[in-house]
Amino acid sequence: MRIVFFGAPGSGKGTQAAILKSTFGIPHISTGDLLRGHVARCTELGRKAKAVMEAGQLVSDDLVLGMLEDRLAEADAKPGFILDGYPRNLVQADALGALLARIGQPLDIVIKLNVPHDAILERCAKRFAEQGRKDDDPEVVRGRLAVYSEQTAPVAAYYSRTGQLVEIDGVGELASVTARILAAVESAA
């Protein structure tokens, strides 16, 4: 099963993907987590990405694609994966399509979690207080939502055209949202 989780920052992609990876026995691949790992290890990529991430902007397409390609080549991703945080613009959507065609692993479903922006601002403010992620600072979150609306939201229309997009209401109890996602994945399988 090859799934993309799609939605605004703070829409719950990471949380839901972490729950579902054990259900499906496939890895949760978050480009945000991978990038934060590079920053923490002070790799060359991490040094290039750090300031861009803290400002809430997108890291360059080439760097993220190379990182993703390496990750998808690992053995645990052979049976499938849950991709979270990629693609984030139309260039990345095209690049992903080409990459997955090349490795013979086309996507099964793109799940978009819909959460209103005022609820997102609240969630990120809470995460900022709990985890101190610099890009969860309320000012930066506003900027990330603008980046999402301008660059990432058009990706939904792209997958709507390919017939792979399923929209899920991301508001409510965590378990209810998980149940909605499971139902969508089952009907796509």
Which residues are at the interface with ligand ADP (CB under 6 A)? 9-10, 13-14, 30-32, 35, 52-53, 56-59, 64, 85-86, 88, 92, 135, 144
d(CA 82, CA 48): 26
Each residue of 122-161: b (16+ CB within 10 Å) or e? ebbeebbeeeebebbbeebbeebbebbeebbeebbebbee
For residue 103, the minimal CB distance to ligand ADP (Å) is 18
For residue 96, the minimal CB distance to ligand ADP (Å) is 9
Q: CB nearer to ligand ADP: give 37 or 189.
A: 37
Q: Which residues pair with 169 in a beta bridge?
A: 114
Q: CB nearer to ligand ADP: give 88 or 180.
A: 88
Helix (H, G, I), strand (E, B) or coil at 40: helix
Q: CB nearer to ligand ADP: give 124 or 166.
A: 124
Q: CB nearer to ligand ADP: give 8 or 186.
A: 8
For residue 79, the minimal CB distance to ligand ADP (Å) is 23
For residue 58, the minimal CB distance to ligand ADP (Å) is 4
Nearest residue to ligand ADP, scored by beta-carbon proximity: 32
Amino acid at 69: E
Please answer whether residues 58 and 30 qualify as being in contact, where contact means their C-beta atoms are separated by less than 8 angstroms: no
Q: How many helices (H) and strands (E) does the chain have?
A: 9, 5
